[in-house]
């Protein structure tokens, strides 16, 4: 790479006893409490399950994880780092360094999965595929070009779309395996990554919205148009990428619903309205249940027309600050 | 009532920094304002639980539904923010609570909307609805219609049986 990534111009000693934005501390604490390493997850318990997959399914899984590795590498070494010079507070800078490090942990996690389940030859082939797949390379290039761009708020848009949208064509697969009781430990690890990405997307999206405060109407409109244009560009590429990967196993249509569902959430993280209507975001319940176990309990009391009205039995909760 | 909650109550009284509300919908939203945006789209009268300790404390005088986000702590710890805890330490606010609506993100897995679920369980009321982030237009419609039906006399009688 010839061009240099911009560094922050002036560094001041960070004083955590004088906080300008409470969100910085809140998110820092949340990220620190969520810290994990792949070694904590007993991936080797998935070896038997891996052996039950067909060759096509193994190939798909390797490719999906290699694609995710590329995105996490990009976000760890370029994306999160490129946000540092634009930080409004020194604590915001610190949060980005935490995000960057965790992205590197995520990238390394896929290698842990590979080394547990696959042979060196299979791993090398998957990495070679990742450098040759047009749509995968294109998605990395699109995002990277915006990271090298001049506009700090556009960098935040690109970063939020990566964190909250671009990972999900890949995240679908381990959730699919998990819903079939396969590679369940791998799915546990991926759920930790999914949780982290939610905090990253929320925080970067929040800082984007802070940056919009006080901007002119023209500027706000420019950034909104830009967000939707970039989303469409990435979406079209994601659809191609999804077909490349999932057509052989017949899952493309459901993966696309998952893309729509997460595109909506990415836009909401940036403070914009959801774009895809409910008719195209109806991801299969098995995937949602794998993503969010126990969340499918009936929590739509309204549509239950009250007939199944049952008050939960009061049980002692364990929350240590629950006190009344 | 715990000593802390009692002291809280006395402080609130002593300083007179209390605001009474007749809203049927009370919500919390942090400075990121995701939840506030959802509430704005409902176009209903709603009261906001104060973010800062210097603001007057909110006391409910009529039955209401609580709408709150979840902040994902490790294994669901600290999922209920101190401001909501403080609000619920007032006896009136627990006595008038009829149901909870949760905002969250399914990325937090089994802890999706855990704050709403825990409050509902502890206070013996139902979780009425859950939605993600600032909610889709379908969520807005479901909650709007759901709340309108919820507050009809027929619905209220059925719940008291």
How large is the average pLDDT for residues B131-144? Answer: 96
Identify the active-site residue in A110, A168, A202, A241. Answer: A110
Residue A110 annotated among the catalytic residues of the structure: yes
pTM of the full structure: 0.89
Higher per-residue pLDDT: A246 or A301:
A246
C-alpha distance from A79 to closest chain B C-alpha (Å): 21
Residue of chain A whose alpha carbon sits nearest to that of B137:
A274
Q: What are phi and psi of A272, to 5 degrees?
A: -100, 160
**DSSP, residue by residue, A210-239:** HHHTT--HHHHHHHHHHHHHHHHHHHHHHH
> Out of A33, A198, A271, whose CB is closest to B74?
A33
C-alpha distance from B22 to closest chain A C-alpha (Å): 22
Q: What is the share, in percent, of chain B residues with pLDDT greater than 70?
A: 84
pLDDT value at B3 more than 70: no
Residue B79, pLDDT score:
84
3-state SS string for A84-118:
HHHCCCHHHHHHHHHHHHHHHHHHHHHHHHHHHHC
A197-248 residue pLDDT tens: 999 999 999 999 999 998 999 999 999 999 999 999 999 999 999 999 999 9
Q: Is the ipTM of this complex over 0.85?
A: yes
CA distances from B45 to A94, B98, B127, B129, B152 (A): 40, 17, 20, 19, 17
A164-184 residue pLDDT tens: 999 999 999 999 999 999 999
Higher per-residue pLDDT: A155 or B73:
A155
Q: Over the range B111-120, which residues count as b (16 or more CB within 10 Å of their CB) and which as e?
A: bbbbbbbbbb
3-state SS string for B37-59:
HHHHHHCCCCEECCCCCCCCEEE
**Mean pLDDT for all residues in chain A:** 89
Q: What are phi and psi of B20, to 5 degrees?
A: -90, 145
Q: Over the range A243-265, which residues count as b (16 or more CB within 10 Å of their CB) and which as e?
A: ebbbeeeebbebbbbbbbbbbbb
pLDDT value at A3 more than 90: no
> Out of A198, A315, A324, whose CB is closest to B1?
A324
Size of interface A-B (CB pairs under 8 A): 143
Residue A230, pLDDT score:
96
Predicted confidence band of residue B105 (pLDDT cuts 50, 70, 90): very high
Name residues 89-128 of chain B within 8 A of A (Cβ).
Answer: 89, 94, 99, 102, 105-110, 112-113, 117-118, 120-122, 124-128
Q: Does B15 touch chain A (CB under 8 A)?
A: no
Q: Do B133 and A268 touch (CB under 8 A)?
A: yes
Q: Do B158 and A209 touch (CB under 8 A)?
A: no
How large is the average pLDDT for residues A42-63? Answer: 96
pLDDT value at B17 more than 70: yes
Predicted confidence band of residue A308 (pLDDT cuts 50, 70, 90): very low
Burial class (CB in 10 A: 0-12, 13-18, 19+), A1: exposed
pLDDT value at B7 more than 90: no
CA dihedral A147, A150, A153, A158 (to 10 degrees): -20
A10-22 residue pLDDT tens: 788 888 888 889 9
Residue A6, pLDDT score:
67
Measured CA to CA, the distance from residue A275 to residue A167 in angstroms comes to: 18
Q: Does A12 touch chain B (CB under 8 A)?
A: no
Burial class (CB in 10 A: 0-12, 13-18, 19+), B27: buried
Chosen for mutation from A319, A320, A321 (greatest number of chain B CBs closer than 10 Å) is A319
Q: Looking at beta carbons, which residues of chain A come within 8 Å of B121?
A: 312, 314-315, 317
pLDDT value at A306 more than 50: no
Q: Looking at beta carbons, which residues of chain A come within 8 Å of B106?
A: 288, 291-292, 295
């Amino acid at each position: 790479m010839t061009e240099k990534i911009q560094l922050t111009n002036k560094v001041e000693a960070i004083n955590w006893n004088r906080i300008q934005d409470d969100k910085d501390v809140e998110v820092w604490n949340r990220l620190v409490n969520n810290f994990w390493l792949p070694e904590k997850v007993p991936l080797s318990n998935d070896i038997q399950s891996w052996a039950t997959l067909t060759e096509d399914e193994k190939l798909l899984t390797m490719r999906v994880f290699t694609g995710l590795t590329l995105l996490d590498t990009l976000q760890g070494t370029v994306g999160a780092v490129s946000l540092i010079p634009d930080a409004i507070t020194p604590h915001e800078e610190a949060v980005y360094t935490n995000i960057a490090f965790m992205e590197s942990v995520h990238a390394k996690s896929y290698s842990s999965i590979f080394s547990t389940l696959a042979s060196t030859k299979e791993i090398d082939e998957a990495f070679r595929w990742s450098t040759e797949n047009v749509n995968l390379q294109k998605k990395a290039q699109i995002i990277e070009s915006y990271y090298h761009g001049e506009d700090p708020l556009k960098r935040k848009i690109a970063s939020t779309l990566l964190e909250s949208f671009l990972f999900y064509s890949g995240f679908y697969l381990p959730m699919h395996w998990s819903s079939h009781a396969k590679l369940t430990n791998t799915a546990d690890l991926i759920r930790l990554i999914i949780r982290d990405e939610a905090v990253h997307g929320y925080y970067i999206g929040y800082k984007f919205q802070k940056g919009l405060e006080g901007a002119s109407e023209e500027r706000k409109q420019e950034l909104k148009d830009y967000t939707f244009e970039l989303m469409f560009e990435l979406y079209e590429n994601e659809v191609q990428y999804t077909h490349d990967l999932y057509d052989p196993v017949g899952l493309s249509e459901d993966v696309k619903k998952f893309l729509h569902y997460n595109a909506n959430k990415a836009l909401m993280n940036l403070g914009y309205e959801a774009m895809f209507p409910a008719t195209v975001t109806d991801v299969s319940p098995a995937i949602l249940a794998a993503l969010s176990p126990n969340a499918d309990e009936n929590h739509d009391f309204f549509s239950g027309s009250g007939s199944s009205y049952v008050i939960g039995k009061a049980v002692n909760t364990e929350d240590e600050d629950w006190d009344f | 009532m715990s000593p802390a909650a009692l002291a809280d109550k006395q402080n609130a009284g002593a300083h007179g920094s209390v605001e009474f509300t007749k809203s049927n919908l009370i919500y919390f939203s942090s400075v990121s304002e995701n939840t506030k945006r959802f509430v704005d789209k409902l176009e209903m009268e709603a009261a906001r639980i104060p973010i800062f300790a210097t603001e007057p404390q909110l006391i409910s005088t009529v039955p209401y539904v609580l709408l709150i986000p979840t902040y994902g702590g490790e294994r669901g710890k600290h999922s209920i923010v101190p401001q909501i805890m403080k609000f619920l330490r007032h006896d009136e606010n627990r006595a008038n609570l009829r149901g909870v609506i949760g905002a969250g993100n399914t990325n937090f897995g089994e802890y999706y909307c855990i704050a709403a679920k825990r409050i509902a369980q502890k206070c013996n009321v139902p979780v009425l609805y859950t939605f993600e982030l600032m909610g889709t237009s379908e969520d807005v419609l479901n909650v709007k219609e759901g709340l309108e039906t919820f507050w009809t006399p027929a619905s209220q009688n059925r719940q008291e049986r």
